[in-house]
Amino acid sequence: AITRSLGGLLAGDPAMTSEFGRRAEEIGRRFGHPGLEALGINGVARAMIVEGDAVNGLRMMDEVAIAAAGGKLDPLSAGYIFCSVVCASQSVGDYRMSEQWTEEMRRWTANTPLPYFPGRCRVHRAELARLRGEWRDAEREAQQACDELRSCGPVDIGWALAELGLIRLRLGDLDGAQAAFRESHERGRLPHPGLALLHLARGDVDRAARSINDALNDPPEWPSREAPLNTRL
């Protein structure tokens, strides 16, 4: 049920995400497995956010994340919950909530016996540092994320490279930004809005407008925990 709920989220099918989330929640409650119950609630909450009810969806996610932080869930379930709440809050621009749970996840990870893979988490931390204006720290975090994700699938490394390009753009390193965006594109991810912003920074307004309009008119077709396919989000 959890696997199908996640599959629904990545496919942009909130009805499927919610249906199997509720099934998992009920199974977890029936058999006394709080981790499974929390994962099910998480699926229902993610579906609510995709359908536009971000306030109540994030509130539900906050509650299960508090249970994870309080040691009430098994480590595997807790790690997934932390990842999901950071992805969800960042996807709707609630960066204060995202930063709070990113720091809590960092604290929790230091005390868990499971070896969590930090690459995707680092991309989130890099984005938060970029938004705070801590661009050198953001660049180091994004570069490390790229190094850690190169052995993974093209979608994750393309995402990390797109973030690295945005950071270099803020630093005024236009050539470095172009190199990151080019590799991101080669890895199968169209690195917008960064690429359009690069064209704009170089004074090519027409190209910037065309490229961002093309991206809006032809949405990307890669699965994402942050912005599910084929949805308004």
pLDDT per residue as tens digits for the range 77-101: 999 999 999 999 999 999 999 999 9
Q: In the prediction, which pLDDT does 188 show?
A: 84
Q: Please report which residue ranges of 113-173 form alpha helices under DSSP H.
A: 119-132, 135-149, 154-171
Residue 118: band (very low, low, confident or very high) from pLDDT cuts 50, 70, 90: confident
Q: In the prediction, which pLDDT does 108 show?
A: 87
**Which of residues 104 and 40 earns the better pLDDT score?**
40
Q: In the prediction, which pLDDT does 13 show?
A: 94
Asked if 149 contacts 112 with a C-beta cutoff of 8 angstroms, the reply is: no
pTM over 0.75? The answer is yes
Asked whether the predicted pLDDT for residue 109 surpasses 90, the reply is: no
**Cβ partners under 8 Å of residue 192, min gap 6:** 211, 212, 215
* pLDDT single digits (tens) 35-54: 999 999 999 999 999 999 99
Mean pLDDT of 11-28: 96
Asked if 63 contacts 38 with a C-beta cutoff of 8 angstroms, the reply is: no
Reference 187, options 225, 150, 224, 139; nearest CA is 150
Q: In the prediction, which pLDDT does 115 show?
A: 59
| Cα–Cα distance, 122 to 63 (Å, whole number) | 24
Mean pLDDT of all residues belonging to the chain: 92
Asked if 61 contacts 42 with a C-beta cutoff of 8 angstroms, the reply is: yes
**Residue bearing tokens 């199974």:** 27
**Which of residues 21 and 189 earns the better pLDDT score?**
21
Please give the backbone phi and psi of residue 135, each rounded to the nearest 5 degrees, phi first. -75, -35
| Cα–Cα distance, 103 to 120 (Å, whole number) | 15
Asked whether the predicted pLDDT for residue 58 surpasses 70, the reply is: yes
